[in-house]
Chain A
Amino acid sequence: MPAPLIEMRGISKRFGAVVANEAVDLSVAPGEILGLLGENGAGKTTLMNVLFGAYAPDAGEILVQGRPVTINSSADALAAGIGMVHQHFHLAPRLSVLENLLIGIPGKSGRIDRAGGLARLAEIGRQHGLTLDPGLPVSALSIGEQQRLEIVKALFRGARLLILDEPTAVLAPTEVDGLFSALRSMAAQGLGIIFISHKLNEVRALTHRCVVLRHGRVTGRVDAPASTTSSEMAQLMCGHEIVPPARGPSTPGAAVLTLDGISTSRHSGMALRDVSLFVRAGEILGIAGVSGNGQRALAEVISGVLAPDVGRMTIAGKVVSRFSPCEVQALGLGRIPEDRMTTGLVTNLPLADSMVLPRIGTAAFSRNGLLRPDAIRAFAEAQIKAYDIRCPGPMTRAGALSGGNLQKALLARELAFDPKVLVVSQPTRGLDIGAARFVHEKFLDMRARGCGIVVIGEDLEELLMFCDRITVMYEGRIVGTLDSADATIARLGLMMTGAEGHS
Chain B
Amino acid sequence: MFRLEARTSTSAWFNLALPLLAIGATLVLCSGLIALAGAGVIEAYGVMFSASLGDSYAITETLVRATPMIFTGLAVAVAFRAKFWNIGAEGQLLAGAVASCAVGAIPMPGPLAMLLMALAGAAAGAAVALIPATLRVKFKVDDVVSSLLLNSVIFYALMALIEGPWKDSFSGYPISPPIEDSANFPVLLEGTRLHLGVVAAFLAAPVIWFLIARTTLGFRIRVIGENPEAARYGGIHVERVLISTALLSGALAGLAGVSEVGGVHFQVMSDISPGYGYSGIVVAMLARLNPLGVMPAALFLAAVMTGAEAMSRATGVPAFLSDVIQGTALLAMLVALLFTAYRIRRVGAAR
Q: Does B43 contact A (CB under 8 A)?
A: no
- Give per-residue flags for B262-281: 1 if the beta carbon is below 8 A from chain A beta carbons, else 0: 00000000000000000000
What's the Cα separation between A360 and B217 when bound, in Å? 10
User: For B350, what are the chain A residues with a Cβ–Cβ distance below 8 Å?
Assistant: 56-59
Q: Choose among B217, B233, B347 the residue that contacts A337 (Cβ–Cβ < 8 A).
A: B233
**Chain A positions 1 through 37: 1 when the CB is less than 8 Å from some CB of chain B, otherwise 0:** 0000000000000011010000000000000000000
B351 touching A357, Cβ below 8 Å:
no
Give the docked Cα–Cα distance between A343 and B226 (Å): 11
**A56, A325, A400: the one within 8 Å of B348 (CB):** A56
Q: Does A335 contact B (CB under 8 A)?
A: yes
Name the residue of chain A whose CB is nearest to the CB of B218: A371
Known A-B contacts A70-B348, A371-B214; A348 and B230 likewise in contact (beta carbons under 8 Å):
no
How would residues 246 to 287 of chain A score, 1 for a CB under 8 Å from any chain B CB and 0 otherwise? 000000000000000000000000000000000000000000
Q: Which residues of B contact A344 (CB under 8 A)?
A: 230, 233
Expressed in whole angstroms, the minimum distance between the Cβ of A288 and any Cβ of chain B is 23
With both beta carbons as reference points, the residue of chain A lying nearest to B9 in the complex is identified as A400
A-B contact count (CB 8 A): 94
Determine whether the beta carbon of A72 is less than 8 Å from that of B8: no
Closest to B224 in A: A346
- The count of residues in chain B whose C-beta lies closer than 8 Å to any C-beta of chain A is 29
Chain A stretch 348-380: residues in CB contact (< 8 A) with chain B: 348-349, 353-354, 357-358, 360-361, 366, 369-371, 373
User: A346 near B230 (CB under 8 angstroms)?
Assistant: yes
Are B216 and A348 interface neighbours, CB within 8 A? Answer: no
| Contact (Cβ within 8 A) A72 B216 | no
Is B203 among interface residues, defined by CB-CB distance under 8 A? no
Inter-chain contact A358/B234, CB cutoff 8 Å = yes
The CA-CA distance from A344 to B223 in the complex, in Å, is 11
User: Is the Cβ of B348 less than 8 Å from the Cβ of A357?
Assistant: no
| C-alpha gap A345/B230 in the complex (Å) | 6
Q: Is the CB of B347 within 8 A of A72?
A: yes
B348 touches A369 (CB 8 A): no
CB within 8 Å of A: which B1-57 residues: 1, 3, 5, 8-9
Q: Is there a chain A Cβ closer than 8 Å to B227's Cβ?
A: yes
Asked if residues A61 and B351 are in contact (CB atoms below 8 Å), the reply is: yes
**Beta-carbon contact of A360 and B220 below 8 Å:** yes
Distance between Cα atoms of A335 and B350 in the complex (Å): 46
A496 to B347, CA, bound (A): 49
* Chain A residues, CB < 8 A from B230: 342-346, 354, 357
Q: Which residues of B are found within 8 Å of A407, using beta-carbon distances?
A: none
**Contacts of A42-89 to chain B: CB distance below 8 A:** 55-61, 70, 72
A-contact 0/1 string along B191-230, CB 8 Å cutoff = 0000000000000000000000011111110110011011
Instruction: Write out the residue numbers on chain A whose beta carbons fall within 8 Å of the beta carbon of B222.
Output: 349, 353
In the assembled complex, A416 has its CB within 8 A of some CB on chain B: no
From A15, A343, A361, B233 is in contact (CB under 8 Å) with A343
Q: Are A325 and B227 in contact (CB under 8 A)?
A: no
Which residues on the A side are within 8 Å of B347 (C-beta)?
56, 72
Interface contact A305-B233, CB-CB below 8 Å: yes
For chain A, the count of residues having a C-beta within 8 Å of the partner chain is: 41
Specify which of B216, B218, B233, B350 lies most central, judged by the most chain A CB atoms within 10 Å of its CB. Answer: B233
Q: Binary interface profile of A, 398-422, with partner B (CB < 8 Å = 1, else 0)? A: 0010000000000000000000000
Residue in A56, A57, A342 whose beta carbon sits within 8 Å of that of B229 in the complex: A342
Asked whether A358 lies within 8 Å of B235 as measured between CB atoms, the reply is yes
Contact of B8 among A15, A305, A335, A371 (CB under 8 A): A15
Q: How far is the CB of A330 from chain B (nearest CB, A)?
A: 9
B345's closest neighbor in chain A, by CB? A56
Known: A16-B8, A346-B223, A349-B222. A357 touches B216 (CB 8 A): no
User: Is the Cβ of B219 less than 8 Å from the Cβ of A360?
Assistant: yes
Task: Say whether B215 contacts A325, CB under 8 Å.
Answer: no
A347 to B222, CA, bound (A): 12
In the complex the two chains form, is B216's CB within 8 Å of A360's CB?
yes
Min CB gap B227→A, angstroms: 4
Are A57 and B351 in contact, CB atoms less than 8 angstroms apart? yes
Closest chain B residue, CB of each to CB of A392: B9
Provide the bound-state CA to CA distance between A335 and B229, in Å.
Answer: 14
B334-350 contacts to A (CB < 8 Å):
345, 347-348, 350
CB of A383 within 8 Å of the partner chain: no
Q: How far is the CA of A63 from the CA of B215 in the complex (A)?
A: 57
Q: Is B313 an interface residue (CB 8 A)?
A: no
Q: How far is the CA of A15 from the CA of B351 in the complex (A)?
A: 17
Cα distance, A377 to B350, chains bound together (Å): 42
Contact with A349, one of B9, B226, B233 (Cβ below 8 angstroms): B226
Q: How far is the CA of A358 from the CA of B223 in the complex (A)?
A: 11
- Chain B residue, CB-CB nearest to A56: B347
Residues of A within 8 A of B219 (CB): 353, 360, 366, 371
Is A370 in contact with B216, judged by CB distance below 8 angstroms? yes
CB contact list, B234-267 vs A, under 8 A: 234-236
User: Which residues of A are interface residues toward B (Cβ below 8 A)?
Assistant: 15-16, 18, 55-61, 70, 72, 303, 305, 324-326, 329, 335, 337, 342-349, 353-354, 357-358, 360-361, 366, 369-371, 373, 397, 400
Can you list 12 contacts pairing A with B, beta carbon distance less than 8 Å?
A324-B235, A342-B230, A345-B227, A346-B226, A346-B227, A353-B222, A357-B236, A358-B234, A360-B219, A361-B235, A371-B215, A371-B218
